[in-house]
Amino acid sequence: MRGLAKDLARLVGPEGFSTQPEDLLVYRHDAIAYFAQGDPAAVVLPTGTTQAAKVMAYASQHGIPLTPRGAGSGLSGGCTPVRGGIVLDTKRMKGILEINRGNLTARVEAGVVLADFQQAVEGQGFFYPPDPQSKSVCTLGGNVATRAGGPRAVKYGTTVNYVLGLEAVLPDGEVIRTGSACVKHSAGYDLTHLLTGSEGTLALITQATLRLLPKPPATCTALAVCPTMDMAARIVSETIAGGVVPSMLELLTTASLAVFNRFVSPPLPEEGEACLLMEFDGTAQEALRQAQEMADACRDMGAIDVRVVPQTDEAAVYWMVRSRLYPLVVSRFKRVVTEDVTVPRDRIPEFATKVMGIAQEMGLAMGLTGHAGDGNMHPTIRMDEVSDELQARADQAMAKVIKAGLALGGVISGEHGVGLHKAQFLELELGREQVALMRRIKKAFDPTGIMNPGKIWPPELET
Amino acid sequence: MQGLEQYREALERCSQCGYCQASCPVFSQELLESYTARGRTLLIKAALMDGALPVGKRTKEIVANCLLCGTCAHTCPGGLPLDEIFVAARNQLRPSGPAASLKRSLHRKLMEQRGHPGALGKLGPLAKTMGLAPADLPQPAAHPFLADQPEVLKPSGQMRARVAWFVGCAANSLHLDTAQAVRKVLLANGVEVVLPQELACCGLPALAQGEVDMAQDLARRNLAALAAQEVDAVVTECTSCVLMLRDKMTRLFEPESPEAQAAQALAPKVMEVGAFLHKLGLSQAPQGRDISYTLHQPCHAAGFAAQVQAGLALLEQVPGADYRPMADPAACCGAGGDFFLKNQALSQGVRQSKMDQIERSRAEVVVTPCPACRHYLGLALGPDKVKHPLALLAGAYE
Ligand SMILES: Cc1cc2nc3c(=O)[nH]c(=O)nc-3n(C[C@H](O)[C@H](O)[C@H](O)COP(=O)(O)OP(=O)(O)OC[C@H]3O[C@@H](n4cnc5c(N)ncnc54)[C@H](O)[C@@H]3O)c2cc1C
Ligand code: SF4
Ligand code: SF4
């Protein structure tokens, strides 16, 4: 793109962008390297809405594809610049603009890192529950753009439940403010929640007004090692049916027990097929009581080992390990393909059986983990070698898993978004008419089609 | 720690999770992803290993813009030896030509002389030759600490333990107060101290320049000198020396080689001097001191933070001394060895966040066992405001 560097220097200054291939390598993909397809022409790092708007207007005028990027921790290829062009990195827009005690809201810029935000609000006695496990790096803009969730979704919902308003830049550079800082709002179409989860295909989110909660006084963690996957799945659905609402309820494979054992003592028995890691919150007494009741229930159902960890610092170790399990697994295999299917919670046992059946039928090593408390499952295929044949088989297996999930009333993605990875399945879940309507909405926002092209739906649907 | 090629498998294990963004002091200033370990490793692989990208100025700049603090390696869930990979990259990118070899031989001499320029003359002209800014360089003492020490120092009372003391280059030639404090506290507590004469610099500064051969030569010399000692422990007051002697040196040579085995045998005996004293217990009670202090934990201690904490616990035995923790004692100070000399703006940015934390702790002095952190924080706070933890303890033995 001739003259690009000169134009960008004019728009954002020489420090605000790079067109050097050495800098651009890392911007070719998100947390999944094999999604990389195109080479971006530039990465641009605006420091605020004004600069971002200038860049967007420029890209529109010149028909340059533009892909928003937060931390690049996505797992669906969402911020992968498949058509090249500009990667718009929001990480320099990192101001926490306001924490409003009286209204229990906060206003932030898109590039604020989730963990920094949580630390800031918790320092003032507040609580921002959404907790994708990548929280040490992922941005609030990325969270909003993907409707990110995490273990706490079982009790507190996902990012979508906390977004009250947004500031966004439309592709032509115009700035809009949607929603408000009010708890209730019923004027006009809810563009706030249309942009929430739009994966950078409609507009660039530059600021968000987020809802806060008072911080629960105490938490208590518990862990149960289960002899079978089926038992673990049944514990989850019976817990939910019994009206107990843990603040986190995670299903893990027994392989993770070995990882826990590197950090915790006494060691956990590395047996069985699955384990459940959970947390309860409330007053210290309430949290402990719920954890103990849950522990008793797990023992009654035949769990091999159950422990209750009331100390926060000790419990933090379990949750630290939890947040590192996925990258750890990936680092042990040549390639890992992971899915994000979510099913109604009463269907988890059936889904688990289906997944294990598919793994066997296709001759693949598959693990099943997930934020089980909210039905969000991460079936994960682990490959010791990479070949076209194996990848094709893995793709086939994942297609079967997705269809099995849909047949149980599930959805193709619970939290990672569609991105590149699941574009081919969108119609399968939503149907032709709904996708066609979404295409018309996309056209209304982005008539020239510069915003994150190649995502959400397959290229043949892009007209 | 030879060529980059030996890290290929490790590089392939990178999950691309991006978690290394969370902790890199350079990235936190620039916020450009090519400075994260994820970006650096992708670049190193493409440019320096696969030849997919020509090696240009920008590659060198990115490789050089790293404090080698190792924080990313400690953050990485996959446990990639990231800082070692960055050293190997520097090794491959070492400049050649007469100026570079002059610089290299001066550097080697300085390390062989345990940080003291001695006959090389004042550091000033030397620094000029090396292209460093003399204004911010610490001035070496006229006589190094070790110049007038006997080979064995006898404790005042009954002998409770015998150690070999690895005096770091900084304590030997720049921060003599640290060396004097360590000597005083060890002797007051019944520790007999051996000062092996043949020791040289631990070699970590050589590694930071990518000078792997030089680091190996120094390590061989140190291993030989220490193997000969009959002692309970090898102690050192410098965090970077601990890191080198306990950790880096074990991977500096071919696995299974005699040197690697010697390094493996030595590693568990190496202790930060404060941690050693804490384990031994003080036999002489410190007097009261009316002082408040906060700890800055050096990044090189990330793998043995418990030792720094043990050293800190010693200070809690000083009546009246008031510990005022800062928000994140382990956050980088920006020094990165001599990184701050060449990357002033970046280092100052990192240091500013640290200064804010120090100010909020409202402590009178900062204690830190790393001489580079001490020097660099001292440039901003004033030299008397930053000390080695044992200097604070030594003050309670007046
Ligand atoms: C180890 C690991 C664990 C994870 N665990 C979870 C989990 O528990 N739950 C979960 O939900 N996710 C999880 N993720 C996925 C990922 O972290 C989340 O999707 C996160 O929300 C992405 O944030 P980001 O800032 O990295 O966005 P990116 O990956 O940079 O971008 C994600 C998408 O959002 C768009 N986007 C980003 N910023 C903006 C903006 N300002 N305006 C418009 N569009 C934008 C991008 O174009 C892209 O489509 C995990 C990832 C990893 C690597
Ligand atoms: S944290 Fe480790 S595994 Fe993750 S991207 Fe960084 S280097 Fe790779
Ligand atoms: S060693 Fe330190 S400065 Fe270098 S990449 Fe890692 S964290 Fe950043």
Starting from the CA of residue B87, give the closest ligand: 3
| Distance between Cα A27 and ligand 1 center (Å) | 14
Domain extent, residue A326, equals 218-331
Residue A27 lies in a domain: yes
pLDDT given for residue B380 in this prediction: 94
Instruction: Give, for ligand 3, the residue of B38, B67, B75, B86 to mutate: max count of ligand atoms closer than 8 Å to Cβ.
Output: B67
Residue B116 lies in a domain: no
CATH number of the domain where residue B351 is located: 3.40.50
Residue of A nearest to B37 (CA): A26
pLDDT given for residue B275 in this prediction: 96
pLDDT given for residue B156 in this prediction: 85
Q: Tens of pLDDT along A346-401?
A: 999 999 999 999 999 999 999 899 999 999 999 999 999 999 999 999 999 999 99
Same domain membership, residue A30 and residue A54: yes
Given a cut of 60, whether residue B132 has pLDDT beyond it is no
Measured between CB atoms, does B41 come within 8 Å of chain A?
no
Domain extent, residue B187, equals 145-277
Terminal-residue alpha carbon distance, chain A: 24
Residue of B nearest to A112 (CA): B31
Q: Other CB atoms closer than 10 Å to residue B387's CB: what's the count? A: 24
Residue A309 lies in a domain: yes
The SS3 of residue B371 is: helix
Residue B170 lies in a domain: yes
**Counting atoms of ligand 1 from 1, which one is nearest the CA of A139?**
25
Residue of A nearest to B14 (CA): A331
Same domain membership, residue A205 and residue A102: yes
Terminal-residue alpha carbon distance, chain B: 46
Residue A375 lies in a domain: no
pLDDT given for residue B122 in this prediction: 56
Gyration radius of chain B over CA positions: 21
CATH number of the domain where residue A311 is located: 3.30.70.2190
Same domain membership, residue B294 and residue B190: no
Quote the minimal CA–CA distance from B75 to chain A in Å: 10
- Cross-strand pairs, A274: A226, A253
DSSP notation for B89-119:
HHHHT---SHHHHHHHHHHHHHHHTTT--GG
Same domain membership, residue A196 and residue A230: no
Structurally, how many domains does chain B consist of? Answer: 3
DSSP notation for A91-144:
TT---EEEEETTTTEEEEETT-BHHHHHHHHHTTTEE-----TTTTT-BHHHHH
Q: Tens of pLDDT along A304-322?
A: 999 999 998 999 999 999 9
pLDDT given for residue A188 in this prediction: 96
Same domain membership, residue A300 and residue A198: no
d(CA B50, CA A25): 14
Measured between CB atoms, does B58 come within 8 Å of chain A?
yes
Last residue of one domain, picked from the residues A331, A360, A384: A331
- pLDDT > 70 fraction of chain B, expressed in percent and rounded: 95
- CB contact under 8 Å between A45 and B32, yes or no, is yes
Same domain membership, residue A131 and residue A49: no
Residues of B in contact with A115 (CB under 8 A): 22
Q: Starting from the edge strand earliest in sequence, which strands make up the sheet with B152-153, in order?
A: B152-153, B191-194, B161-165, B233-236, B270-272
Same domain membership, residue B271 and residue B150: yes
Structurally, how many domains does chain A consist of? Answer: 4
Tokens encoding B370 = 């790393």
CATH number of the domain where residue A204 is located: 3.30.465.10
Same domain membership, residue B223 and residue B314: no
Residues of B in contact with A92 (CB under 8 A): 31
Tokens encoding B344 = 């002033």
Given a cut of 50, whether residue B99 has pLDDT beyond it is yes
Q: Residue B295: phi, psi to the nearest 5?
A: -105, 135
Measured between CB atoms, does A72 come within 8 Å of chain B?
yes
Quote the minimal CA–CA distance from A331 to chain B in Å: 4
Residue A433 lies in a domain: yes
Starting from the CA of residue A135, give the closest ligand: 1
Tell me what the mean pLDDT of segment B272-285 comes to: 96
| Distance between Cα B29 and ligand 2 center (Å) | 19
> Which regions in chain A score pLDDT beneath 50?
none
pLDDT given for residue A382 in this prediction: 93
How many Å separate Cα B121 from the centre of its chain?
25
- CB contact under 8 Å between A136 and B19, yes or no, is yes
- Pick the range with the lowest mean pLDDT from A83-97, A130-144, B106-120, B310-324: B106-120
Last residue of one domain, picked from the residues A331, A363, A395: A331
d(CA A74, CA A137): 11
Q: Tens of pLDDT along B235-265?
A: 999 999 999 999 999 999 998 999 999 999 9
Model confidence band, residue B133 (pLDDT cutoffs 50, 70, 90): very low
pLDDT given for residue A90 in this prediction: 98
Residue A436 lies in a domain: yes
Task: Out of A22, A331, A332, name the one closest to residue B59 (CB).
Answer: A22
- Ligand 2 binding pocket includes B212 (Cβ within 6 Å): no
Range from A326-330, B315-319, B340-344 that averages highest in pLDDT:
B315-319
What is the complex's ipTM, to 2 decimals? 0.95
Ligand 1 residue neighbourhood (C-beta within 6 Å): A 30-31, 67-75, 78-79, 90, 110, 132-134, 138-139, 141-143, 145-146, 148-150, 199-200, 204-205, 326-327, 415-416, 419, 452; B 17
- Cross-strand pairs, A100: A105
Same domain membership, residue B217 and residue B304: no
Last residue of one domain, picked from the residues B277, B301, B326: B277
Same domain membership, residue B313 and residue B240: no
Q: Residue B278: phi, psi to the nearest 5?
A: -65, -40
- Asked if B32 and A45 touch (Cβ cutoff 8 Å), the reply is yes
Residues of B in contact with A22 (CB under 8 A): 34, 43, 47, 53, 56, 58-59, 62
Quote the minimal CA–CA distance from B13 to chain A in Å: 4
Last residue of one domain, picked from the residues A74, A89, A104: A89
Same domain membership, residue A11 and residue A61: yes
CATH number of the domain where residue A83 is located: 3.30.43.10
Residue A276 lies in a domain: yes
Same domain membership, residue A251 and residue A206: no
- CB contact under 8 Å between A115 and B62, yes or no, is no
Q: Which amino acid is at B159?
A: M
Same domain membership, residue B210 and residue B172: yes
| A155 Cβ contact partners less than 8 Å away, ≥ 6 residues apart | A129, A245, A246, A247, A248, A281, A373
Same domain membership, residue B171 and residue B49: no
Same domain membership, residue A313 and residue A265: yes
Measured between CB atoms, does A258 come within 8 Å of chain B?
no
| Distance between Cα A75 and ligand 2 center (Å) | 14
Residue B111 lies in a domain: no
Task: Out of B21, B36, B53, name the one closest to residue A22 (CB).
Answer: B53
Q: How far is CA A316 from CA A320, A323, B198, in A?
A: 6, 10, 47
- Cross-strand pairs, B290: none
Residue of A nearest to B21 (CA): A137
Measured between CB atoms, does B19 come within 8 Å of chain A?
yes
- Ligand 3 binding pocket includes B67 (Cβ within 6 Å): yes
Which residue, judged by its Cα, is nearest atom 4 of ligand 3?
B66
Same domain membership, residue A302 and residue A265: yes
Same domain membership, residue B294 and residue B263: no
Task: Out of A22, A73, A330, name the one closest to residue B34 (CB).
Answer: A22
Average pLDDT over chain B reads 92
Given a cut of 70, whether residue B131 has pLDDT beyond it is no
Same domain membership, residue A260 and residue A192: no
Residue A178 lies in a domain: yes
pLDDT given for residue B125 in this prediction: 61
Residue B104 lies in a domain: no
| Distance between Cα A327 and ligand 1 center (Å) | 15
Tokens encoding A241 = 């049916």
Identify whether A266 is preceded by a cis peptide bond (ω within 30 of 0): yes
- Asked if B196 and B226 touch (Cβ cutoff 8 Å), the reply is yes
Same domain membership, residue B309 and residue B270: no
Residue A365 lies in a domain: no
Which residue, judged by its Cα, is nearest atom 4 of ligand 2?
B17
- CB contact under 8 Å between A26 and B34, yes or no, is yes
**Counting atoms of ligand 2 from 1, which one is nearest the CA of B15?**
3
- Asked if A51 and A28 touch (Cβ cutoff 8 Å), the reply is no
Same domain membership, residue A323 and residue A429: no
Q: Which amino acid is at B21?
A: Q
d(CA A146, CA A196): 7
pLDDT given for residue A357 in this prediction: 94
Last residue of one domain, picked from the residues B229, B246, B277: B277
